[in-house]
Structure 1
Amino acid sequence: MSAPTEFRTQVAVVGAGPVGATVANYLGLYGVETLLVDRSTDIVDYPRAVGMDDECLRSFQGIGLADEMLADMLQNIPLKMFGADGRCFADIRPATKEFGWPRRNIFMQQLAERTLRKGLERYPHIRPLYGHELIRVEQDGTEVRLHLSGPDGEGALVRAAYVVAADGGRSTIRTQLNIPLVGETSPRKWVVIECDNDPLDAPYTGLHCDPRRPYVCLDLPYNYRRWEFMLFPGEDAEAMLRPERVRELLTGHVPDPAALNVIRARVYTHHSRVASRFVEGRICLVGDAAHLMPPWAGQGMNTGIRDATNVAWKLAAVVSGRAHPRILSTYDTERRAHAKAMVDLSDTLGRILSSTNPWVARPRDILFRGLRLAPAVRDWLVDMRFKPMPRYSERGIVLHRGQEAGKNCAVGRMLVQPKVETSAGLAVHLDDTLGTWFTLIGYGTDPLIHLDDESRAFWDRIGTRYVAVAESRSGRSQGERPTSATDSVVVEDLDGSLRDWFATQPGTMAVIRPDRYVAAVTEPLELASLSCEFERLLSPSRNPKAEDLPSSRSSLEPLGGAS
């Protein structure tokens, strides 16, 4: 028998779905040598995840793929809820672009995966290893070893400093690490039916809360449509997938069920589970490997993309020596509680909307119609403010300093993203001026003029960009825009959004993390002390131990192995 081909890499990502491919794209952006492993050679060619929110699009903006995603997407799609009598009792149309992108968008997963895989081609240090199945995972204080089986049964061994488990709800890695999924599984199953010749003029997502059989109907891009029907106790799930039963389910919902070109009919079970921990040694769980949730809030994949954006920059900071490996523990503390909140939201919506008891359904419909008459409640629904937003506490990579823990303080929250104007007169998203790593932003002031030599050396060492925000039209003319005497990037606050944002904060300077969360807010006079605190928070080891950082020998080329 031949010896397995052996690879060494800084990070291995197992699972090339949307979450794993996003991690790999971010690691490519950060210059981290990465191996992307997946047991499949091809992308599954039918829709699965279909909802994408503004936070998710902002993550794709960070890797330069938001516009490519939008090219295959339905933007600002309404979400309508219909009661037992068939009348709409809630019409959710979020208009806010707080984070720079539409809040409710519909896409098809297979197209998004192609875009993400195409994006990986930009990075020569990212190597896909498709058609390889993970058999066994081992780790110690210095590395993780992945034992793989290739397309023809040949063995491969990957030695990685760190591993990201993005291998789905039945995660082999999570199972072998004995990490339990805590929660419950719904006894009700659902049949999902998709066609590629949409017969309906219904350009929205419809949640039909009919107690006779609750169902969901979704308008998808490129003439696709999806239905999801609840099954009742005693109904044979597999029998419901027969063509005649599929047509029976669709009867009354489309003009001619027999005319539909059904491309898929499958049975799904709704799980509400979160892994008991997201980090085990040198391995981090992301996406469905870390949490499973019902589809009611449309947050399954979106939550996974938040995981990816959070864990990628921390891994990059560790393998580059800019932060101590212990910061990886903050991936668990920052992401697990929020994932649980998303699962709870999905469960709550499911209980409200999928009741099969008419005596519960009718009062629910009346209540929701009444709530629409209250402006505050209506706006809360329309703008989807019921969606829990992450706020990272002092146990994460943030600095809450006294008054900053107040209700309106943005520390630990995602930074707003308005349009700003560059020195060339271009109106762009704020993130496009912040660079790819940490940013020090000053409103009405230049961050660099407030840094002493030691503080400047620290921020430079971790690759920080400096941005000074000026009031719009504060230069002498179009030809004489505001400038800086330092290396700071100067942008103009095009519509006053950043002025308003900073006005609610306890300072005119902010530290922004690579994932666009606010790490700290301060006044210029306190910047030196904040710099010291932040350096201690990251605490990169000046003399790292062997077990703290990956080996300096890190190559994606095979190390050997007989053929």
Structure 2
Amino acid sequence: MSEHTEIRTEVAVVGAGPCGVTVANYLGRYGVQAVLIDRSTEIVDYPRAVGMDDECVRSFQGIGLAEEVLADAIRNVSLKMFGADGRCFADIRPATDEYGWPRRNIFMQQLAEATLRTGLERYPQIKPMFGHELDRLEQDGTEVRLHVTGPAGEKLLVRAQYVVAADGGRSTVRGQLGIPLVGDTHPAKWVVIECDNDPLDAPYTGLHCDPRRPYVCVDLPYGYRRWEFQLFPGEDAEAMLRPEKVHELLTGHVPDPRALNIVRARVYTHHSRVAARFLDGRVCLVGDAAHLMPPWAGQGMNTGIRDATNVAWKLAAVVTGRAHPRILSTYDTERRAHARAMVALSDTLGRVLCSTNTWTARTRDALFRGLTVAPQVRDWLLQMRFKPMPRYTEGVVLHGRRPVAKKSAVGRMFVQPKVETADGRSVLLDETLGEWFTLVGYGTDPLVHLDPESRAFWDGIGTRYVTVTESRSGRSRAERPRSGTDSVVLEDLDGTLRDWFAAQPGTVAVIRPDRYVAAMAHAAELGTLSGAFERLLAPRRQPDRHDEQPPRPTAVPATGGAS
């Protein structure tokens, strides 16, 4: 029996890509102890995700890093689709900012990952373990044991209450748990090329549906540009990475292919697969470990960040005693169906855009041009309303009626307009909501309507209370609306919240930590609603986590193997 080091922690995150590091940042923000394990000591530098949507940026806002990530991104970038004749048949420029951020932002994944890793430095209870490789894991009803090899070959045993597997499409964790990826692998491969001396004046993302060879051209930050070319049957994928073949692919697209400084080139295979389950005992799968999809909707990483944001608050709720462990089952309930929807969207777009049959391609172009004459269809396409928005009909949500009303906001992400604070600052709404549950009342103070027992429950799980009033409803700048309770008072600057609440059956919204609407109620119904939520979460009244665990991940020498 060899000597090894034993590390005890509350959560172990395996994989330090964007999803894993996002989980770790959220756990740090929630005060949870965690280790972050990754076999590599460096950030991977080959071409990966380049599109970041508004929901993703809002998730980064939740860990205080949205502006830092966007500092290396190009905001509000249009997406143009070009037909078989080379003419643009769709110029997608989403104008919506209902979640507080532009819907299309172009970035470079390695820069975003560096920012997210730097963010971990704020949390002493988060221990990065880069250069460490997971060999195997085992779990029982009380913990997960991870057998890990360090950079010098040393053996470690990590004992965690829960594990998040964010270790990519070839997930070691998923493989050891025997969880299958259900779906297909597409036969066509793609060559992805990036240069750092962009020669084109094309500040947009272009999907070129050319049947002779479909390709994508993306304007990236800092003078970089990406090309993605579809390969045909019989073409040798690795041979296509040779300089002469790369220049051949770029011929006709740039003035002088040989003048480009090619910094990255790689061959990719597209997959459309979803794990059979996202939760196995005490292990949760997120990101590429849980689902793989083609890039056409730009939703691979974005879907993974939604996973990370969803699972992080639920794990934190369990280990801090705010909720019963059974709520973890809602991670699978809420996220797997949406991942399947995003894969289906990506598949559909791929079939439409990547046809290599000239007649089919020209028919498609004519159909798109004809359909976009109708204002409603044009708006559906150009504002990206075809993207399936998450809506949770089951999980940590309470719907007042069955079947669920189609227009109900319950289970959907809450809007995020700018509001005005008591000291006159104009800020995005989330900056005022805190990091846990929030009761938001429009024109009513939630605290006034809570009986002592209900108040004790909400206070016990760290809830914040917010009262929204109409803009300029005070007597003057010096006499703004105030609350006689502990509620935060905000003014609805542009009427967005007024209109939102007017369309809903209630004046009080329960907002989850991930900014989804968990329930709606009228003020008089808050007592009943509070009781229902207490039964749903079933929190432990006296969390014992710090009696059982050290204040941060600790390493102690031990002998013998895993028990």
CA distance in 2: counterparts of 1:145 and 1:306, whole angstroms: 26
Segments of 5+ residues of structure 2 without an aligned counterpart are none
CA distance in 1: counterparts of 2:171 and 2:367, whole angstroms: 41
Structure 1 equivalent of residue 412 of structure 2: 413
2:47/2:266 contact within 8 Å kept: no
- 1:191-220: CA deviation from partner (whole Å, max 9, x where unpaired): 001101101110000000000000000000
Q: Give, as a single letter, the amino acid of the residue that structure 2 aligns with 1:33.
A: Q
1:552 aligns with 2:548: yes
1:76/1:102 contact within 8 Å kept: yes
CA distance in 1: counterparts of 2:158 and 2:385, whole angstroms: 44
2:131/2:150 contact within 8 Å kept: yes
Paired residues for 1:405-554 under 5 Å: 405-541=404-540, 552-554=548-550
CA distance in 2: counterparts of 1:403 and 1:332, whole angstroms: 22
The Cα of 1:537 is off from its aligned counterpart by 0.5
Structure 2 equivalent of residue 198 of structure 1: 198
Q: Give, as a single letter, the amino acid of the residue that structure 2 aligns with 1:406.
A: A
Q: Give, as a single letter, the amino acid of the residue that structure 2 aligns with 1:39.
A: R
TM-score w.r.t. structure 1 length? 0.98
CA distance in 2: counterparts of 1:341 and 1:509, whole angstroms: 30
1:319/1:550 contact within 8 Å kept: no
The Cα of 1:503 is off from its aligned counterpart by 0.3
1:143/1:550 contact within 8 Å kept: no
For residues 551 and 242 of structure 1, do their structure 2 counterparts lie closer, same or farther at Cα, with a shift above 3 Å needed? Answer: farther
| SS of equivalent to 1:23 | helix
Segments of 5+ residues of structure 1 without an aligned counterpart are none
Structure 1 equivalent of residue 170 of structure 2: 170
Structure 1 equivalent of residue 381 of structure 2: 381
Structure 1 equivalent of residue 291 of structure 2: 291
RMSD after superposition: 1.5
CA distance in 2: counterparts of 1:43 and 1:474, whole angstroms: 51
CA distance in 2: counterparts of 1:98 and 1:221, whole angstroms: 25
1:455/1:528 contact within 8 Å kept: yes
The Cα of 1:478 is off from its aligned counterpart by 0.4
Q: Give, as a single letter, the amino acid of the residue that structure 2 aligns with 1:425.
A: G
The Cα of 1:46 is off from its aligned counterpart by 4.4
The Cα of 1:551 is off from its aligned counterpart by 7.4
CA distance in 2: counterparts of 1:513 and 1:378, whole angstroms: 34
CA distance in 1: counterparts of 2:153 and 2:359, whole angstroms: 58
- 1:251-292: CA deviation from partner (whole Å, max 9, x where unpaired): 000000000000111110000000000000000000000000
CA distance in 2: counterparts of 1:407 and 1:156, whole angstroms: 51
CA distance in 1: counterparts of 2:540 and 2:100, whole angstroms: 37
Structure 2 equivalent of residue 362 of structure 1: 362
CA distance in 1: counterparts of 2:391 and 2:142, whole angstroms: 32
Question: For this pair of structures, how many residues does the alignment match?
Answer: 559
CA distance in 2: counterparts of 1:97 and 1:541, whole angstroms: 38
Structure 1 equivalent of residue 335 of structure 2: 335
CA distance in 2: counterparts of 1:405 and 1:552, whole angstroms: 42
For residues 403 and 510 of structure 1, do their structure 2 counterparts lie closer, same or farther at Cα, with a shift above 3 Å needed? Answer: farther
Q: Give, as a single letter, the amino acid of the residue that structure 1 aligns with 2:378.
A: R
| SS of equivalent to 2:477 | coil
CA distance in 2: counterparts of 1:440 and 1:276, whole angstroms: 35
Give the 4+ runs in structure 1 shifted more than 4 A: 541-544
For residues 124 and 543 of structure 1, do their structure 2 counterparts lie closer, same or farther at Cα, with a shift above 3 Å needed? Answer: closer
Structure 2 equivalent of residue 138 of structure 1: 138
Structure 1 equivalent of residue 304 of structure 2: 304
Q: Give, as a single letter, the amino acid of the residue that structure 2 aligns with 1:423.
A: A
| SS of equivalent to 1:115 | helix
CA distance in 2: counterparts of 1:498 and 1:156, whole angstroms: 52
Q: Give, as a single letter, the amino acid of the residue that structure 1 aligns with 2:33.
A: E
The Cα of 1:2 is off from its aligned counterpart by 4.8
Q: Give, as a single letter, the amino acid of the residue that structure 1 aligns with 2:553.
A: L
1:186 aligns with 2:186: yes
The Cα of 1:117 is off from its aligned counterpart by 0.4
2:47/2:192 contact within 8 Å kept: no
Q: Give, as a single letter, the amino acid of the residue that structure 1 aligns with 2:467.
A: A
- 1:224-261: CA deviation from partner (whole Å, max 9, x where unpaired): 00000000001111111111000000000000000000
| SS of equivalent to 1:362 | helix
The Cα of 1:488 is off from its aligned counterpart by 0.3
Structure 2 equivalent of residue 11 of structure 1: 11
Paired residues for 1:255-266 under 5 Å: 255-266=255-266
TM-score w.r.t. structure 2 length? 0.98
Structure 1 equivalent of residue 65 of structure 2: 65
1:38/1:133 contact within 8 Å kept: yes
2:7/2:158 contact within 8 Å kept: yes
The Cα of 1:359 is off from its aligned counterpart by 1.2
